[in-house]
Structure 1
Amino acid sequence: MKRERRQELKSPLHICPEVAKSGKVSACPYNDKCRFSHDVEAFKAERPADIEGSCPFLIYEGPCPYGLACRFAGTHRDDVSAPTENLPVKSSELNFFNKDTQKLLWKNKMKFPETESTLKLLGLKGNPKDKTLGGKGENGQVVPKEPATDTKTDNNEVANDSIIPFISPEDDADENNLADDTRPLKKAKSSVNEICSSQVSSGSSVQEGILDSSCDVNKLEPAADTVTDSDKSLKLHPREKKLIDFRDKLYLAPLTTVGNLPFRRVCKVLGADVTCGEMAMCTNLLQGQASEWALLRRHSSENLFGVQICGAYPDTVTKTVELIEQECSVDFIDINMGCPIDIVVNKGAGSALLTKPMRMKSVVEAASLTVGTPVTIKVRTAYFEGKNRIDSLIADMGNWGATAVTIHGRSRQQRYSKLADWDYIYQCVCKAPKSLQVLGNGDVFSYVDWNKHKTECPELSTCMIARGALVKPWIFTEIKEQRHWDITSGERLDILKDYARFGLEHWGSDSKGVETTRHFLLEWLSYTCRYVPVGLLDVIPQRINWRPPSYYGRDDLETLMASDSAADWVRISEMLLGKVPSGFSFAPKHKSNAYDRAENG
């Protein structure tokens, strides 16, 4: 691999981006020290042929950012003579990773003041690399990372007396009725708390359920009689946050690999209301990995957008949410506690947290107390098949500080081998407090499925749509219009064309961007081939677990789209992105059925 990279660096095709953009060697600020090639003529002699079609940046004002390296360079207009006053400005992307922040993370010099204060408040303060949760507390006692048992979820049964439980509004109201010896620990009021409480009672600073930012009950003010100007920037208590209303909104699930920004743009065009980025690992984000931070990228069309993170310990997750709130524009942060992938579970994250409810509590509580952004969680029914446990925890999840919880109706061991258990999801919804929004996830593949779940359980906030959107992204249109869309192969090809255009805008229109777009398009096509047109079905609607035999479509393109052969998916990609490079091969990354593997029971 090193030899190939060295050869690539020496190749004239490895042209400097600044030189390619302007066509002038003098445009590069590094001159002779640049690690890219500056030989424009050699690049023109060896560059691959243009792809059929027009440059995706032509519809926007200004020149193409890839210049000579663009695979559609032949369609570029003359910037001197071409009119640009009536062209739209390029749609923006948000949440680019700050280089200064990345350098601080690389050098392990990033400060997390909110995390430090929150972990100290909850008795979770300590060395992140130590297996004990905090080393020594204020009184010199050792604070264990996990209580003696993971099955106790009641605040009064926590083994560690230094852990201060989250006090819900209902508990706060009934505080005076508790005896002194049974009253849960609660932090003392400071002058900031007293001013906040007085403003709440007078109603002077309450607007749409949110207190003025000068109030803060997350922080203690030691020996302070007056509020300083710095207190005005302090954050709100979780019970005073502005909540997101997920009720009846069409929610596109965070989808690993395939749920990238171009795919989310396609779903937004087809009717999705809420979108969420791909799962990002907390440890990778804290290490400043640019590839992981790219998963948090947001498009301007995503008006209700969240990111999903995955971590095993309270300190790791809390630092990550503080960093995300500081660096990114997001509407909510979702903590994944249901990922079944072995590499994630073996590190104690994802579904592994389902076996440690007290750690779940610590993670959610610390994260929600640290940031003002709403925190949601996503879980599965259980880790092992037949040992469901979310119904025993869901009554406490609202007290932990979570705004909403999404329940995937399968266990970790089950993976995708059986249908989702919606009856169990309904049971959990009935046991959840009214302040906690509960979302269901699993096997929603038509508007009939959507209506059934909403009718059988009106308290259900909404349904999250995952594989259904991968197989047919127009499911959002079907639900909104309450119809079965007998979509033609031409209309499906138009959706793929939109995806290719969005992908070239996101990853680039040079050779590297084209092949990246092709790779993710092929991953998506490995799901779309499962769709059976409505006009060919004897029983409507199609179920998500059906695997029909090979069939002929109503035209050649429909037959090609129904193929489960990777070679046919490559043919479809060549219709949109030109011929594949020599020696190209593709194998899909994901397998949806992993139930029969030995390590999964």
Structure 2
Amino acid sequence: MAEGTAAAPLENGGGGDSGVGALERGVAPIKPQYLTTKEQFHQFLEAKGQEKPCRETELDIRGKLYLAPLTTCGNLPFRRICKRFGADVTCGEMAVCTNLLQGQMSEWALLKRHQCEDIFGVQLEGAFPDTMTKCAELLSRTVEVDFVDINVGCPIDLVYKKGGGCALMNRSTKFQQIVRGMNQVLDVPLTVKIRTGVQERVNLAHRLLPELRDWGVALVTLHGRSREQRYTKLADWQYIEECVKAASPMPLFGNGDILSFEDANRAMQTGVAGIMIARGALLKPWLFTEIKEQRHWDISSSERLDILRDFTNYGLEHWGSDTQGVEKTRRFLLEWLSFLCRYVPVGLLERLPQRINERPPYYLGRDYLETLMASQKAADWIRISEMLLGPVPPNFAFLPKHKANAYK
């Protein structure tokens, strides 16, 4: 499924499967050499008669609209939709570094870039300096990206309990080793996404940001909630504003609860270098257009169905148009519909704008399709998918991942 998979690692012990051939055959490549210290890196370059890679480009995305790396929903077809509506910066879904190093095809597929993604990065998750550095070294030689992001914001137990994601905010030594190690082997800027902290009332970001700047991070995105809060509280933009000063002169992007151009304007007033949009893009990918044109778009149900049709076409192009590709496209469409149903049409709102934390009561749309799109029932999402992809297979069932992984 993955295209543009790994080339041969830096140092193989001679013989055996490695690189492209190994990955194409689904064989784990031989482990590349660890380059975890500055001395090791320079020794390697000296042995090869090379100079340390020069970063010819800096990451200058101030004022741009950044689509968050969204696990499951932030796939390539969805990113194409968001690019059409004005997203400036896109990032692949979180990829687990150990899975990449093992040559897992499904993980390498997450790094694929579409030609419309002119400013594109990939996001890595890992807990240990050696594997993260090794993975960064491999990526620097195999994929064309504009930046690499470290996920230090993931709150789910599976990642946190292994020491990755948010847990790195409490593991300063490991965090520093990861950042410094990756920086030495990458020839593109390194960015980091963090939360306010782990516990609800213990903010850590303001203390970490000056250190991240000193470690060589090019840009940080701060999600204005702690791990403990998840989505039970609104994002703390007042704290994000405080953190802008702590990060300076390193650019800080803010993230959390942006669903209208008014929300975006208020966010920019905090002094952030730019904004990252996550759930807001899932509820209405045309949000990027609304922000750039400073207006509310009363989009019709037929226009929304056209967007879904484009997504399915992109999906069939990306995952294949055989039975497996159709059902994969359907699954990802249904995941997106489980968010899209929360959107309330502008023409039906009593007041503007809609707030991201407000769950509307059941309502009738202005036509049958608009009512169907507002349904919170999976059976209705499946009906929408059948309009675009034909009947579902026998005994088909669907539960959104965000429901299955619900926190408490």
TM-score band, normalised by the shorter chain? Answer: over 0.9
* Residue in structure 2 matched with residue 454 of structure 1 by the alignment: 268
In 1, Cα distance between equivalents of 2:44 and 2:105: 37
Counterpart residue type for residue 260 of structure 2: S
C-alpha displacement of 1:358: 1.9
* Secondary structure of residue in 1 paired with 2:402: coil
Whether the aligned pair in 2 keeps the contact of 1:419 and 1:443 (CA below 8 Å) is: yes
Paired with 1:566 and 1:433, the residues of 2 have a C-alpha distance of 46
> Does 2:404 correspond to 1:589?
no
1:549-595 CA distances to partner (integer Å, 9 max, x unpaired)? 10000000000000000000000001000111111111111139955
Q: Distance in 1 between matches of 2:314 and 2:257?
A: 27
Q: CA deviation at 1:246?
A: 1.6
Alignment map for 1:458-537 (pairs within 5 Å)? 458=271, 460-537=272-349
CA contact (8 A) 1:382 1:410 kept: yes
Name the residue aligned to 1:259: 74
- Contact residue 257 and residue 278 of structure 1 kept, 8 A: yes
Q: Name the CA shift for 1:391/1:501 in 2 (closer, same or farther; >3 Å).
A: same
Q: How does 1:555-574 map to 2 (within 5 A)?
A: 555-574=367-386
Q: CA deviation at 1:108?
A: 5.5
Q: Which moved more, 1:328-337 or 1:390-399?
A: 390-399
Equivalences for residues 543-562 of structure 1 within 5 A: 543-562=355-374
How large is the RMSD of aligned CA atoms in angstroms?
Answer: 2.2
Check conservation: 1:307, 1:330, Cα contact below 8 A: yes
SS state of the match for residue 350, structure 2? coil
Q: What displacement does 1:338 show?
A: 1.1
Whether contact under 8 Å (1:311, 1:317) holds in the other structure is yes
Match of 2:226 in 1: 411
Cα deviation digits, residues 481-502 of structure 1 (max 9, x gap): 1100000001100100100100
Looking at structure 2, the residues matched to 534 and 366 of structure 1 have their Cα atoms a distance apart, in angstroms, of 48
Mapped to 1, the partners of 2:69 and 2:28 lie a distance apart of 31
Correspondence for 2:53:
235
Whether the aligned pair in 2 keeps the contact of 1:94 and 1:329 (CA below 8 Å) is no
Report the alpha carbon displacement of residue 408 of structure 1 after superposing the two structures with TM. Answer: 0.5
**Aligned counterparts, 1:263-274, within 5 A:** 263-274=78-89
Report the equivalent of 2:153.
338
Contact 1:450 1:479 in 2 (8 A): yes
Bigger RCO of structures 1 and 2 (CA < 8 A, at least 6 apart): 2
1:119 equivalent among 27, 31, 37: 37
Is the contact between residue 415 and residue 593 of structure 1 (CA under 8 Å) also seen in structure 2? no
Letter in 2 for 1:403: A
Q: Give the Cα–Cα distance (whole angstroms) in 1 for the partners of residues 105 and 31 of structure 2.
A: 16
Contact 2:298 2:346 (8 Å CA) reproduced: yes
Pairs within 5 Å for 1:35-54 = none
Residue of structure 1 aligned with 2:387, choices 575, 578, 587: 575
In the TM superposition, residue 401 of structure 1 has moved relative to its aligned partner by: 1.2
Following superposition of structure 1 onto structure 2, how do residues 72-151 of structure 1 map, counting pairs within 5 Å? 95-97=4-6, 100-101=18-19, 103=22, 106=27, 109-112=30-33, 115-116=34-35, 118-119=36-37, 121=39
For residues 289-328 of structure 1, the aligned pairs below 5 Å read 289-328=104-143
SS of the equivalent of 2:42 reads: coil
- Supply the distance in 2 between the matched residues of 1:289 and 1:593 (Cα, whole angstroms): 23
Matched, 1:442 2:363: no
User: Are 2:28 and 2:104, in contact at CA under 8 Å, matched by a contact in 1?
Assistant: no
Give the Cα separation in 2 of the matches to 1:592 and 1:419.
22
- How far apart in 2 are the matches of 1:532 and 1:549? 10
TM superposition shift of 1:97: 4.7
Give the residue type in structure 2 aligned to 1:450. Answer: A
Write the mapping of 1:356-367 to structure 2, written as runs, cut at 5 A: 356-367=171-182
Q: 1:452 to 1:297 in 2, by over 3 A?
A: same
One-letter amino acid of the counterpart of residue 448, structure 1: E
Find the residue that maps to 1:590 and give its secondary structure: helix
Cα deviation for residue 430 of structure 1 reads 1.0
CA contact (8 A) 1:275 1:305 kept: yes
1:448 is paired with a residue of what secondary structure?
Answer: helix
Q: 190, 211, 214: which one pairs with 1:375?
A: 190
Partner Cα distance (2:316, 2:6) in 1: 20
Q: 1:276, 1:305 within 8 Å by CA — same for their partners in 2?
A: yes
Give deviations 1:326-364, integer Å, cap 9, x for gaps. 111111000001100111111110011111122211111
CA spacing shift, 1:461–1:273, aligned 2, 3 Å: same
Residues 168-247 of structure 1 mapped to structure 2, 5 A cutoff: 219=42, 231-236=49-54, 242-247=57-62
Residue 234 of structure 1: how far off its partner (Å): 3.1
* Residues 559/221 of structure 1: CA separation in 2 closer, same or farther (3 Å cut): closer
Distance 2:404 2:380 in 1: 20
Aligned partner of 2:244 in structure 1 is 429
Cα deviation 1:447-466 (Å, max 9, x = unaligned): 111111112x23x1101000
Partners of 2:297 and 2:4 in 1: how far apart?
Answer: 35
Distance 2:248 2:177 in 1: 19
Amino acid at match of 2:305: L
* Bigger Rg, which one: 1
| Percent of residue pairs identical | 55
Give the residue type in structure 1 aligned to 2:375. S
**How many Å separate the matches in 2 of 1:221 and 1:471?**
48
Q: Are the aligned partners of 2:38 and 2:184 in contact in 1 as well (CA < 8 Å)?
A: no
- TM normalised by structure 1 equals 0.63
SS of the aligned residue for 1:547 comes to coil
The aligned residue for residue 6 of structure 1 is: none
Give the Å deviation of 1:294.
0.7
Question: Would the aligned equivalents of 1:376 and 1:404 in 2 still touch at CA under 8 Å?
Answer: yes
> Structure 1: 5+ residue runs without aligned partners?
1-92, 126-217
Change (3 A) 1:221 1:572: closer
Task: Give the Å deviation of 1:233.
Answer: 4.8
